[in-house]
Amino acid sequence: MDSTQAKNRIEELRKTLEYHAKKYYDEDKPEISDFEYDMMMNELKNLEKQFPELVSSDSLTQKVGGHVKEGFTEVTHEVPLQSLQDVFSFEELKDFDDRVRKQLSDNGEKLKYVVETKIDGLSMAVEYINGKFVRAATRGNGLIGEDVTNNAKTIKTIPMELPEPVNLIVRGEVFIGAEEFEKLNEEREILGQTLFANARNAAAGSLRQLDSKVTATRPLDMFIFNIQRLTDNKFNSHYEQLLYLEKLGFNVNPVKILCNTIDEAIEAIKKIGDDRENLGFGIDGAVVKVDNLDYREELGQTFKTPRWAIAYKYPPEQKETLLKDIICQVGRTGAITPMAILEPVKVAGSTISKTTLHNEDFVIEKDLMIGDRVIIQKAGDVIPEVVEVVKSKRTGNEKKFEMPKFCPVCGAPTTREEGEAVTRCTGIECSAKALRNIVHFASKEGMEIDGLGYSIIEQLIDRKLVTKISDIYELELEDVASLKKNGKKFAQNLIDAINRSKSNDLSKLLTGLGIRHIGAKSAKALARKYRNIDNLINASLEELSVQNDIGEVMAKSIYEFFREDQTIDLINKLKEAGVNMESLEEESNDKRFEGMTFVLTGTLAKYSRTEASDIIEKMGGKTSGSVSKKTTYVLAGEDAGSKLIKAQSLGVEVITEEQFEEMIK
């Protein structure tokens, strides 16, 4: 490669790496794997080494990738939080050992190393004055980070006061454990929230919340791995410092192995690699640090990295095995996921016998067939994946896989809607979906059963006190009281809330049933139109399709939902329990707003937005969240914002609350 080609490739790599660094460090939304990023960074380092005249101070090889997020106060680190040089082979580790020994005045006669796991999380410095916690800051760009003091206070493993009145700054990694991450994503899925891509993203995003109340709901933990500054430092060994930090009450990285030689360090790294499945937290490598602190001082550092430490990144290991079968699992939202059943094979220290195939499109894209020989890979992440089929080894006896037409758990029909990758179970009484269905049914938007939240429902299901929605109305006081110590008052309040929900309007019931594409607004329109559940059940697809606010997709969803045996069974059980099935809203023949669309903006003095919208809809009108040329009126209250400006620019008539009151007299 000549200088011109190298320059073009370096510019391309820098641009790509800057983009992915922003996604990773600033947005906590990586689009590529750590391994792919590392390989590009490694290529850039090698090119800059080969063509030193092309090295630039703004290259990511010369700086740390993070920036301070808007909304946070900047903190200048008293001691920079540097990054580590990465290596990918044991030969490079031996080269590191050679360099260290050559730089030391006594050739490293007392040289020892400490090997630690490289936690996959977000780096943070925590400061104490006279033994009391005073501040916490993220790494940021290494020199300037974000003040996350209030968020750090919510992490239970960070002590607020130490047993000794020391002035101290420690550095560690904030992370979320493997089990806690799985549970967090499961809960988010059930509540209809966006899932985190991985535990590192979840930890970083949680720590960098502008509202510490949100951070407090996340299962964050922190391992300390270094003393940045300590007054009256009486130590000359990093390993001894770590033991001292444990005595002070810190949650220190549990994997810290003192090694006498680089060969011992390499053996320690191999052992960590073999055991990483059992660690309980994600790692993206192992760190080798010089133990002697005087040696560290002598070795010094570059602008970006210390010369006394290095990070070994585990390469992705690939193995070939047999795809024995593909079975389907039903998740708690009804999503049906194909799972590969494999001939057990050891990959990266753990035996793999099954792994997810994500969805139907993944199976088609990889051209997977039952009986194929496949390549399995396990990179820095603990989740194995099918990389490719060894098509040269096909015998002709392989079988094509098809997604099931009926749910493997409850037998209800499955559906995959246009534009979606997921195949779903349609059964509302499917036991696999019980938690999600009951959580939604009891939610504020649904039947609004106060006290019946996620954790209580989870306990009820675990104890087999409920298995489906209708079981809520069969709960007895003793059942609920058993969930909490001295729980009689809580139980009585919950039973009262359940009984009150029986009197809800039909619209609340329709929302709680969780019909796909039908939210609270559409449920209100359906309740007003059909007046009771039986009228809605008996409505034809054609009739549903011509209703205002009900499009073709929604109409089909409603029609098919009420053709399911499980739906009818649930409705009958709810009727038997005394749940109201009728609209309680007075029927109105007043259609003065028929054909009109209103947009509400700002704060009204006499009405909430919901109340004003209800009035408009009772009188035959529609409400919308956005202004367009089709908007009839914009009802503007105090502090009206961009919607008012857009209405004026489009020539849409703007009315005040007083004018609105005149219109509804």
pLDDT digits (tens, 9 = 90+) for 84-138: 999 999 999 999 999 999 999 998 899 999 999 999 899 999 999 999 999 999 9
Q: How far is CA 54 from CA 16, 35, 44, in A?
A: 17, 25, 11
DSSP state of 503: T
156 catalytic residue (yes or no): no
In this prediction, residues 356-376 reach a mean pLDDT of: 95
- Give dist(CA 378, CA 80) in Å, integer: 34
pLDDT class of 153 with cuts at 50, 70, 90: very high
- Give dist(CA 559, CA 212) in Å, integer: 44
Does residue 219 belong to any structural domain of this protein?
Answer: yes
Beta strands in 505-608 (DSSP E): 597-601
Q: Do 339 and 307 share a structural domain?
A: no
Does residue 414 belong to any structural domain of this protein?
Answer: no
Bigger pLDDT: 52 or 28? 52
3 state SS of 586: coil
Q: Do 345 and 273 share a structural domain?
A: no
Query: 292 with 111: CB under 8 angstroms?
Result: yes
Does residue 294 have a pLDDT over 90?
yes
Average pLDDT of the chain is: 90
Structural domains of the chain, count: 5
Does residue 64 belong to any structural domain of this protein?
Answer: no
Q: Do 173 and 244 share a structural domain?
A: yes
Share of the chain above pLDDT 90, in %: 67
Nearest partner of 536 among 514, 565, 516, 507, judged by Cα: 507
> Which pairs with CB-CB distance under 8 Å and at least 24 residues apart come from 33-38?
33/379, 33/380, 33/381, 34/120, 34/284, 34/313, 34/379, 34/380, 35/313, 35/315, 35/316, 35/379, 35/380, 38/86, 38/88, 38/313
Q: Do 384 and 287 share a structural domain?
A: no
What is the DSSP pairing of strand 113-119 with strand 256-259? antiparallel
Q: Do 37 and 50 share a structural domain?
A: yes
DSSP state of 195: P
Query: 54 with 10: CB under 8 angstroms?
Result: yes
- Give dist(CA 640, CA 218) in Å, integer: 35
Q: Do 483 and 396 share a structural domain?
A: no
Amino acid 275: pLDDT: 84
Does residue 164 have a pLDDT over 60?
yes
Does residue 662 have a pLDDT over 70?
yes
Nearest partner of 355 among 332, 327, 381, 384, judged by Cα: 384
Q: Do 321 and 306 share a structural domain?
A: no
Q: Do 299 and 237 share a structural domain?
A: yes
Query: 498 with 475: CB under 8 angstroms?
Result: yes
Q: Do 167 and 87 share a structural domain?
A: yes
Catalytic residue (choose from 7, 29, 110, 118): 118
Does residue 382 have a pLDDT over 60?
no
Q: Of the ranges 168-182, 371-385, 565-579, which one carries the lowest mean pLDDT score?
A: 371-385
- Give dist(CA 237, CA 110) in Å, integer: 11
Amino acid 366: pLDDT: 95
Query: 558 with 544: CB under 8 angstroms?
Result: yes
pLDDT digits (tens, 9 = 90+) for 170-224: 999 999 998 899 889 888 888 878 888 788 889 999 999 988 999 999 999 999 9
Amino acid 65: pLDDT: 56
What's the CATH number where 632 sits? 3.40.50.10190
In this prediction, residues 533-542 reach a mean pLDDT of: 95
Looking at 166-308, list the stretches that DSSP marks H as alpha helix, in order from N- to C-terminal side: 178-190, 199-207, 212-216, 238-247, 262-275, 293-299
- Give dist(CA 633, CA 656) in Å, integer: 10
Query: 591 with 529: CB under 8 angstroms?
Result: no
Nearest partner of 158 among 138, 179, 175, 133, judged by Cα: 133
* Residues 6+ away with beta carbon under 8 Å from 281: 119, 120, 175, 177, 178, 199, 221, 223
Q: Do 455 and 341 share a structural domain?
A: no
Q: Do 453 and 324 share a structural domain?
A: no
Does residue 68 have a pLDDT over 80?
no
Domain that holds residue 519: 427-576
Q: Is 319 left (phi over 0), alpha (psi -120 to 50) or beta?
A: beta
- Tell me the pTM: 0.69
Amino acid 354: pLDDT: 92
Query: 341 with 325: CB under 8 angstroms?
Result: yes
Q: How far is CA 189 from CA 184, 185, 211, 468, in A?
A: 9, 6, 22, 18
pLDDT digits (tens, 9 = 90+) for 36-49: 777 888 888 888 88
Does residue 370 belong to any structural domain of this protein?
Answer: yes
- Give dist(CA 665, CA 653) in Å, integer: 20
Look up tokens 């209405």; give the residue: 647
Q: Do 333 and 307 share a structural domain?
A: no
pLDDT class of 472 with cuts at 50, 70, 90: very high
Q: How far is CA 21 from CA 15, 147, 218, 224, 392, in A?
A: 10, 21, 24, 24, 39
